[in-house]
């Protein structure tokens, strides 16, 4: 069994995807799309940064879909080597209520991650927080 890893996520909050993309253009990150109260509705990752993930028309389409909704985007940079693991852990912890995530909800991640949240944190109330055995 692989050892557990602990990752601290320093969250930043944005009202526009384009502002988040400008702040994290090339840095690996995980992101939370949230309702106006900050409750997550979808979790994703941008292993090569938000510019690569939401470039050109994709970013504009996302911005248009969010127009006047009041929805929020939360971004936390992560090391590229753990980006997938962190995304999978966050989806697994909120699998019961993440309406727009399809994958990662039926089996726990192969590599479990203990996540510490700091900064402008999304409302993760109701998450099934993972702690390694013995903690």
Tell me, yes or no, whether 83 lies in a domain. yes
Tell me, yes or no, whether 26 lies in a domain. yes
Tell me, yes or no, whether 125 lies in a domain. no
Q: Which domain holds residue 56?
A: 5-118
Query: How many independent structural domains does the chain possess?
Result: 1
Tell me, yes or no, whether 53 lies in a domain. yes
Of 17-26, 40-49, 65-74, 83-92, minimum mean pLDDT range:
65-74
Tell me, yes or no, whether 104 lies in a domain. yes
Average pLDDT over residues 81-94: 96
For residue 91, give the nearest of 23, 44, 22, 36 by alpha carbon: 44
112, 35 in Cβ contact below 8 A?
A: no
Tell me, yes or no, whether 133 lies in a domain. no
Query: Taking the model in full, what pTM does it have?
Result: 0.90
> What is residue 22's predicted lDDT score, i.e. its pLDDT?
93
């Amino acid at each position: 069994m692989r050892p557990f890893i602990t990752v601290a996520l320093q969250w930043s909050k944005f009202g526009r995807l384009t502002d988040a993309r400008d702040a994290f253009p090339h840095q690996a990150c995980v992101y939370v799309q949230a309702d106006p109260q900050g409750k997550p509705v979808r979790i994703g990752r941008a292993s090569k940064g938000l510019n690569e993930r939401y470039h050109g028309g994709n970013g504009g389409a996302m911005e248009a879909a969010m127009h006047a909704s009041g929805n929020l985007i939360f971004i936390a940079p992560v090391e590229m080597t753990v980006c997938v693991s962190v995304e999978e852990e966050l989806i697994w912890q909120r699998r019961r209520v993440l309406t727009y995530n399809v994958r990662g909800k039926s089996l726990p991640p192969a590599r479990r991650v203990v996540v510490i949240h700091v900064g402008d944190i999304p409302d993760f109330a109701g998450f099934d927080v993972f702690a390694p055995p013995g903690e």
